[in-house]
Structure 1
Amino acid sequence: MKPLVHAWPSEGIEHVERCPVCGSSGREQLYSGLTDRVFDCAPGRWDLYQCKGCQSAYLDPRPTPRTIHLAYETYYTHQPPVARSTERMSGAKRLVHALANGYRNHRYHSDLEPANGLGPYVFRLLPRYRKRLDRKMRSLPPPKPGGHLLDVGFGSGAFLLDAQRAGWQVSGADPDPVSVMNGRGLGLDVRQGGIEAFEDFAETFDVISLAHVIEHVHDPVGTLKMAYGLLKPGGLLYVETPNIHAYGHVHFKEHWRGLEIPRHLVIFNWESMTKTLKKVGFTEIQNLSIPSPYVNLAGKSRAIREGRDPYRFARKTLGDRFNGVRVSLPFLADGRKTEFVALYARKDHSS
């Protein structure tokens, strides 16, 4: 895989004089001359800096909002969700699938089929696999009557459909017109754009989800402020985003899959995300214990380092699997170095 290195349009580049997270001008360069080695569609070479204040990382220069679409020509969210068929599954896989559906129906009040009623009891004994199922549902609380959820950057629409089956009234925003067309074809209430597409819905939503979105936006703090304004008092914001302090980044450096230049404009860490949410006004911040995707990202990062397509040639080694176990053990792992920051933050009830 040879990355595109011809220049980004000169009129489509903007400079970033201060950290987009904390506003500090102090910084150090992490990498220079980075190219798109994940989806192999974005032109240009890019420099990544780390803020000396909050330790977040950010691109400078970066694509402008008007031209950033050039980095998404072959992005994976263009495809609608594909329902899993159990017809070709082996007997064992069908049983696991039914047990998983049984757990999700019990935990999230959905109506998935086929379902096995033993699922809640089986997955209680398998916490690692249970957390994988919870991550797919973003650990949603039970919906209140009329509970309204907004997924920003809904992509394929798979999560919106899952949340809808669990009893939520759902809406979505995505800048990709193909995703919006697919979402409407699924009967979903979706709008094209970022979170600002719902700016006329003040204090409407019980839950807003920003799953692997905040790293893509030009004004992450403004996005979090808008989310705060769109939530009802007591509402929840879900955030999941790459962590610049991750074990994977420490090991693979500029080849780490989580960088995804130039689509990822800003990369937080646990501390910078938590402080920013508190500054915006959120309270009761809950760190979510999601399964570490270290092994999966390590395979993709190795492919990037070898100049291969990370989605076709990811090679997971025994060492990756060992490290994956090690970084998941509470008594060995540093919680600040998980591959992703994942948390819930609550809007104050008195707001």
Structure 2
Amino acid sequence: MIDSVHLEDVSCPLGCPKNDEFVLSGRDLLHDLPGTFTIVKCRTCGLMRTNPRPTQETIGFYYPDDYGPYLGTRVQQTGPKQTSGIKKLLKPVVKRLFNFNTEALPPLSPGRLLEVGCASGAFLHRMAGQGWQVEGIEFSDKAALAATRLGYYVHAGPLETAPEPRQPFDLIVGWMVLEHLHDPIGGLQKLCEWAKPGACLALSVPNAGSLEFRLFKEKLYALHLPNHLYHFTPETLRQVLEAGGWALENIHHQRLLSNLLASTGYVLRDRGYTRLGQKLIDFPKRAGKWHFALYPLAWLLSAFGQTGRMTIWARKQA
């Protein structure tokens, strides 16, 4: 482990007595940065966490400037895109037929929206185009600057240091963010204070209760050690949300097989099939139309709650 990264030992955030069991050990497969990290499971509530873990002050080492979400959420400033009449007719049909549940949102009229972990601003930009008043929070200074240059207010820094908003929010979203927070319950409580009565929360997280987690273990693409500090199942996510002031309403299991194929790539690469393994590892970045071809199998697995990611809706408790 490099000298500049400091580790800390933390207890279960739900206040359970210290009674953990070992789950697995793994390393950073995304950037091949140094360090081996352990996941433990609380025997009382079942919540899994990375422990020990890098401190909030030093974990930035594992978020280099070429970190995937920063690059993948850039907005290309180009002229208006010309769309053929056939494509305009087909677009709503395709949306109805292929609902991947990746950024599923509750049915709300446009209002005030906060995105936690907005990266370079692509989602903010899209929602602003639909009439929402948008703000963001982003850990990376560079990514936050890219979102700010689009014209949106973005706090550069962790949720813990974000100032209170000028007005409360109707909708708060966080796509693959909650598992990165050092204090997820404190973060959820803070967001609850910033939300209007009856406001909605939409989050996506990896599903540690899925077949993929049990099958691939330390080779799981969505494990993402040590950046992912918590590893949620539907039940432990419900407990954490309630402790943070939110009532879970819906779970939408995402209809994508990206994680499964990329995890298979890690296994093949370690067994010497380097070229094929790397192609599968790169699948999430280059899947394109393959998502549609794999949709029937993804839909079937999602119906049984066995895909690797889930999107949830919650509402602020009265």
| TM-score range normalised by the length of the shorter chain | 0.7 to 0.9
**Alpha-carbon distance change, 84 to 246 in structure 1, aligned in 2, over 3 angstroms:** farther
Question: Within 1, Cα distance between the matches of 2:219 and 2:204?
Answer: 21
**Alpha-carbon distance change, 157 to 191 in structure 1, aligned in 2, over 3 angstroms:** same
Cα distance, 1:199 vs. partner? 3.9
1:313 aligns with 2:284: no
**Alpha-carbon distance change, 303 to 187 in structure 1, aligned in 2, over 3 angstroms:** same
| Aligned match for 2:313, one of 340, 344, 347 | 344
**Alpha-carbon distance change, 283 to 164 in structure 1, aligned in 2, over 3 angstroms:** same
> Which runs of structure 2 are paired with 1:246-285 in the superposition (5 Å)?
246-283=210-247, 285=249
Question: Within 2, Cα distance between the matches of 1:140 and 1:165?
Answer: 17
What's 2:36 paired with?
45
What's 2:102 paired with?
135
Q: Which has the higher contact order (CA 8 A, sep 6+)?
A: 2
Question: Within 2, Cα distance between the matches of 1:158 and 1:244?
Answer: 27
Residue identity in the other structure for 2:20 = R
**Alpha-carbon distance change, 135 to 77 in structure 1, aligned in 2, over 3 angstroms:** closer
What's 2:287 paired with?
none
1:23 aligns with 2:21: no
1:297 aligns with 2:297: no
What's 2:300 paired with?
329
Residue identity in the other structure for 2:46 = Q
Q: Is the 8 A contact 1:204 1:230 kept in 2?
A: yes
Question: Within 2, Cα distance between the matches of 1:66 and 1:120?
Answer: 45
Cα distance, 1:57 vs. partner? 1.7
> TM-score scaled by structure 2?
0.83
Cα distance, 1:164 vs. partner? 0.5
Question: Within 1, Cα distance between the matches of 2:153 and 2:276?
Answer: 33
**Alpha-carbon distance change, 174 to 87 in structure 1, aligned in 2, over 3 angstroms:** closer
Question: Within 2, Cα distance between the matches of 1:84 and 1:247?
Answer: 40
Please, which runs of 5 or more residues in structure 1 have no aligned partner?
A: 1-6, 100-115
Residue identity in the other structure for 1:347 = K
Question: Within 2, Cα distance between the matches of 1:14 and 1:248?
Answer: 28
| Aligned match for 1:56, one of 44, 47, 56 | 47
Q: Is the 8 A contact 2:253 2:303 kept in 1?
A: no
Question: Within 2, Cα distance between the matches of 1:182 and 1:242?
Answer: 26
> Which runs of structure 2 are paired with 1:53-202 in the superposition (5 Å)?
53-73=44-64, 74-79=66-71, 81-83=74-76, 99=87, 116-117=88-89, 119-121=91-93, 123-124=95-96, 126=97, 128=98, 131-132=99-100, 135-136=102-103, 138-144=104-110, 147-201=111-165
Question: Within 2, Cα distance between the matches of 1:300 and 1:46?
Answer: 20
**Alpha-carbon distance change, 202 to 24 in structure 1, aligned in 2, over 3 angstroms:** farther
Please, which runs of 5 or more residues in structure 2 have no aligned partner?
A: 284-291
**Alpha-carbon distance change, 314 to 84 in structure 1, aligned in 2, over 3 angstroms:** farther
**Alpha-carbon distance change, 303 to 21 in structure 1, aligned in 2, over 3 angstroms:** farther
Q: Is the 8 A contact 1:47 1:61 kept in 2?
A: yes
What's 2:169 paired with?
205
Question: Within 2, Cα distance between the matches of 1:245 and 1:37?
Answer: 21
Runs of 4+ in structure 1 over 6 Å off: 84-89, 321-324
SS in 1 for 2:21: strand
- Percent of residue pairs identical: 28
Question: Within 2, Cα distance between the matches of 1:215 and 1:310?
Answer: 30
Cα distance, 1:40 vs. partner? 2.0
